[in-house]
A and B are shown apart, each in its own frame.
Chain A
Amino acid sequence: MTSLLEVSNLSKSYHVGGFPFKRRVINALEPISFEVPAHKTLAIVGETGSGKSTLAKLLVGAEKPTTGKVKLNGQTLNHGNFKQRCQHIRMIFQDSGTTLNPSLTISQLLDEPLLLNTDLDENQRALLIRETLQKVGLLADHMNFYPHMLSGGQKQRVSLARAIILKPQVIILDEALAALDPSLRSQMINLLLDLQQQMGLAFVLISHNLGIIRHFTDYMMVMSKGQVVEMGNTLDILKKPQHKYTKKLIMSQHFQLLNR
């Protein structure tokens, strides 16, 4: 059986410096390969600048890879075919609450991706918006609200609704849980887990919080300086870390656990 998301030999390098003789190549991401099946979650951890965000950008198609390809359900995703990609791979950012356009109502915000990516008529779109809001725990009444009328957690839900309204198969969460208050964060985790069960979504979670990673993810990938230094089952890695960055990270958090 093929995995839902299959990445092979993906890499990215940038050229810096203007003059040919000064030109240097920076490998932001060394070639990597991995797979994520449906219903599963992959965690990516690594220091700042280790290539996590580059990888995320390559997956959603915001950057063109230097080598390699991304396959979804066995089909290769071409760079440039945004319609295909936007539908199937969506991303939620850390401060997604603040990135909502303040001059649009919630229903207009959710209508946008539908207008761009589907051929549904007005009634169908309204129905879908209603359904999606319900899925993320908001009310149909919220359709006519503007973003500033919602709390931080509700805004996060709107961005989640925006991400799932096209029925994607993969959602990438770039530190999307980090800045939330603990009670909202748990609400969000519960919601994401429910959606994963119902819709068979695969998640890619970029995070530092090992507590969340332990609870929420199945596989884990540790990156350092553009390279994958460790990959495997989350619990195995947390129990027996091999690389020194992983050990350091576990020390800096786990440490606190063992003492309480």
Chain B
Amino acid sequence: MNLLDVRNLSIKLLTGEKAILAVDRVSLTMKEGEVRGLVGESGSGKSLLAQAIMGVLDDKWQVDADRFHWRGNDLMRLSPEERKSVIAKDVAMIFQEPMACLDPTTTIGEQLAEAVYSEEFTGFFWQKHQQRQLAAINLLHKVGIKNHQKCLKSYPHQLTDALCQRVMIAMALARKPLLLIADEPTAAMESTNQGQIFRLLASLNQLKNMSILLISHDLENVTHWTNTITVMYSGQFVEAGTTEQIFNCPYHPYTRALVDSSPKANMHIPVKSRLMTLPGSIPILQHLPIGCRLGPRCPKAQRACVKAPKVKNYHGHQVSCHYSLKDNY
């Protein structure tokens, strides 16, 4: 069964005279126990989409969707507040800058204890303090922090980025989420620490069957950890499929360019030769091209591309392009 099923979700920025369509009909499904990558360059609307799912965008933004199902329940029929509380119960989110999300004036121990659900405790109120402490220690062990005494007493700035991110994950786990949305969880780290965090997420996925939506701007960085990948460009849906489909035979010119431009995927090309790349850069919100937003940069663009393409589905491999590369393989 699909855990999350979102169809044609759009996000409008309500400014001045004309609303801007920041995210244009993007679909996303998550199965139980799945790790999905959400990939796109900076400014493609990944964080907006995640925030829209969590229901935490403010009044400036207007969110519409054709379908928004969570565990088979139609959330479109609920009010925004009800929807938010249903989601908050089962979905947790962690962010790019762990240090900035923690309260710098309080110890890790206190912040963790606060994150623990008190309803779960049985016993008298004087026992609750101790139960909270135990629960906090337990959470730290789950994210692989063994020296819990020292960690609990520390303030956020005394920990490294990777440790802070582990603490953030521990807090997210306190609610036993079914889905964890990780928005560039390793962006600020060096690669050996990145590996640690990815391995931790992978083990949580395996042991607890927790689904993970892994957001990243770098395709090559996440391919090892994901089952499926969704690619976005400038607020539009590009392509979705299994990691193998996306990496080995991308149907969309944009995905093709992403794969080709990665030096890691290009081990066969000669050292110091030119890398394949698209010209130009992602448009800003105020100057979005009409139709397919990749148009001005796309090597295959033709007249039809001034109309936004419809999503085509080839056995679960979805692509949104008038001239897909499907027949090239």
Residues of A within 8 A of B275 (CB): 186, 189-190, 215
Closest A residue to B258 using CB positions: A182
Residue contact B191 to A186, C-beta cutoff 8 Å? no
Cβ of B32 within 8 Å of any chain A Cβ, yes or no, is no
Give A137-176 interface residues, CB cut-off 8 Å to B. Answer: 151-154
Residue contact B281 to A184, C-beta cutoff 8 Å? yes
Residues of A within 8 A of B284 (CB): 151
Residue contact A152 to B224, C-beta cutoff 8 Å? no
Closest B residue to A213 using CB positions: B263
Give A55-103 interface residues, CB cut-off 8 Å to B. Answer: none
Given A190-B274, A249-B191, are A182 and B224 neighbors across the interface (CB < 8 Å)?
A: no
Cβ of A235 within 8 Å of any chain B Cβ, yes or no, is yes
B35 to chain A minimum Cβ distance, whole angstroms, is 14
Residue contact B263 to A48, C-beta cutoff 8 Å? no
Residues of B within 8 A of A124 (CB): none
Cβ of A22 within 8 Å of any chain B Cβ, yes or no, is no
Closest B residue to A235 using CB positions: B271
Cβ of A212 within 8 Å of any chain B Cβ, yes or no, is yes
Closest A residue to B267 using CB positions: A257
Cβ of A219 within 8 Å of any chain B Cβ, yes or no, is no
Residue contact A260 to B190, C-beta cutoff 8 Å? no
Cβ of A252 within 8 Å of any chain B Cβ, yes or no, is yes
Given A208-B191, A260-B247, are A215 and B272 neighbors across the interface (CB < 8 Å)?
A: yes
Cβ of B111 within 8 Å of any chain A Cβ, yes or no, is no
CA distance A116 to B278 in the complex (A): 37
CA distance A38 to B325 in the complex (A): 42
Q: A182-B41, A215-B266 are in contact. List 5 more A-B contacts (CB 8 A).
A: A182-B219, A186-B263, A211-B264, A212-B263, A249-B191
A-B contact pairs, 9 of them (CB 8 A): A48-B190, A181-B218, A183-B41, A189-B275, A190-B274, A209-B264, A211-B262, A257-B267, A260-B224
Chain B interface residues toward A at CB < 8 A: 41-42, 190-192, 194-195, 217-220, 223-224, 247, 257-258, 261-267, 269, 271-272, 274-279, 281-282, 284
List the 6 closest A-B pairs by CB distance, nearest first.
A211-B264, A186-B277, A256-B224, A211-B263, A186-B261, A181-B41
